[in-house]
Amino acid sequence: MGRKILLDKINVPGIKSYEVYRREGGYASVEKALKMTPEAIIEEVKTSGLRGRGGAGFPVGMKWSFIDKKSGKPRHLVCNADESEPGTFKDRYLMEYIPHLLIEGMITSSIALEANLSYIYIRGEYMWVFKTLERAIKEAYAAGWLGKNIQGSGYDLDLHVHCGAGAYICGEETALIESLEGKRGNPRLKPPFPAISGLWANPTVVNNVESIAAVPWIINNSGADYAAIGIGRSTGTKLISASGNIKKPGVYEIELGISVEEFINSDEYCGGMETDRPLKALVPGGSSVPILPAHLIYKTANGDDRLMTYESLSDGGFATGSMLGSGGFIVYDDRACIVRNTWNFARFYHHESCGQCTPCREGTGWLEKVLWRIENGQGREEDIELLWSIQSKIEGNTICPLGDAASWPVAAAIRHFREEFEYHVRFPEKIKNRDHFTHEPFDKVRHLVAPQNV
């Protein structure tokens, strides 16, 4: 059994309520943190090596130490609960079943940042989770963990949950801040970074739900204990939202460093493939990371075991690797059509682009239209090159990472599954049926697009 940090108490009946959570040792980290100096807490988090769980994997302690404390402006901690990445649903699970863990983490982290006003920004689609959190916050206020003079320490903290209107872009930290200020959710130009000028031009730290929820354990135990779990710079545990053609889809907490093979096949986690159809592809970290073909899933390009760590999953760069991202683990068997899947992702990014900067606004729509044509048998041979060209022109030229997120899956799909695109273009009558690979998996027709030598 892997070590559980976040989901340790998840099966305790009634853990949603304050009484049960407190009885199980909840809010101990707040008591401890109130006796520590903010610098000591930040130092502890730095030692732990905890990395941001929202996708980019930036060390949390480092992010906290960048916050501008000299200016004397009020500081804010904002929790990014706008979990919108297709394939990722870990934060929802955490907030829905053990809301007090997040609130405890928010209080402890706010103490470290000396913030007196903190926010949880939750996406509009999670309305019932929003209500769960509101109830939990009310309980925490009643028990004296929030408000003025927390537990007689002289420290004040107000915590609010803010519900967005349902936009993927508001998961980008500066767009989130804009939205929280009541404006249109457009990403800001950086610099200035939020650590200098964020919410209402005050120094702000934005962290993912899971990152903040890991802080209480680190304070209760120690940073070194947390760092002892995992391998190298990937420390601690990570929630993985497993979905796709596996026996047991769901949210799993893993110790970073287990192998991908173990994660997919062991009964403790995914439980193997759903049917006896072979594994075809894997998206290891949510829709925006590059897709991996079967031969690169269990082994990296140079033959090492592929592990569930930030480093191992990105081994080989984008040519043969991917990213851990936010942990949206999507497994495909050979019934899946990569072109259709890529189109579906492209459709999502087209719908979610904010429309502020040109390459993303126009490019995502173009990608979607071309992919739609290929998937529906109206593709042209040159469309594959066109897709490659469009994605390369979006990537890196946009204000925020949404443009990159839209182009990476397209690039990876073409890089690893080019034959499948060619098959779609050359045999339009064969792919008219939506389930075209169910009865005739691509491996059976691969010879049709193989280069012919006379």
Which parts of this chain interact with another protein (CB under 8 A)?
Answer: 167, 169, 184, 189, 350-359, 361-366, 369-370, 373, 386, 389, 393, 396-399
413 token code pair? 């799909």
Q: How far is the CB of 354 from another protein (least distance, A)?
A: 5
Q: How far is the CB of 386 from another protein (least distance, A)?
A: 6
- How far is the CA of 266 from the CAs of 169, 207, 214, 258, 312, in angstroms? 35, 31, 25, 11, 19
CB of 407 to another protein, least distance (A): 12
Query: Do 237 and 253 meet the contact criterion of CB atoms below 8 Å apart?
Result: yes
Cβ nearer to another protein, comparing 309 with 407: 407
Q: How far apart are CA 352 and CA 360, in angstroms?
A: 10
In the complex, the smallest distance separating the C-beta of residue 79 from another protein, rounded to whole angstroms, is: 24
Measure the CA–CA gap between 392 and 286, rounded to whole angstroms. 20
Closest distance to another protein from the beta carbon of 382 (Å): 8
Residue with tokens 């469309």: 383
Q: Report the residue number, 253 or 375, with the smaller CB distance to another protein.
A: 375
Shortest distance, position 207 Cβ to another protein, whole Å: 24
Indicate the residue among 60 and 402 with the shorter CB distance to another protein. 402
Q: Are 399 and 356 in contact (CB under 8 A)?
A: yes
Strand order in the sheet with 76-81: 158-163, 117-122, 76-81, 204-208
- Within 305-401, residue ranges assigned H as helices are 310-313, 317-320, 338-352, 358-375, 382-394
CB closer to another protein, 242 vs 323: 323
CA dist 384 and 423 (Å) reads 11
Residue whose CB is less far from another protein, 17 or 344: 344
Taking the complex as a whole, the smallest distance from the CB of residue 370 to another protein amounts, in Å, to 8
CB of 229 to another protein, least distance (A): 32
Q: Which is nearer to another protein, 278 or 396 (CB)?
A: 396
CB of 387 to another protein, least distance (A): 11
Cis peptide before 409 (omega within 30 of 0): no
d(CA 36, CA 168): 37
Name residue, tokens 């760590």.
Answer: 309
Nearer Cβ to another protein (99/359): 359
Q: Which residues of 211-226 are buried (b: 16+ CB within 10 A; e: fewer)?
A: bbbbbbbbbbeebeeb
**237 near 78, Cβ under 8 Å?**
no
Which one, of 324, 344, 51, 82, lies nearest residue 187 by Cα?
Answer: 82
- Kindly tell me which of 7 and 175 has the beta carbon lying closer to another protein: 175
Nearer to another protein, 136 or 169 (CB): 169
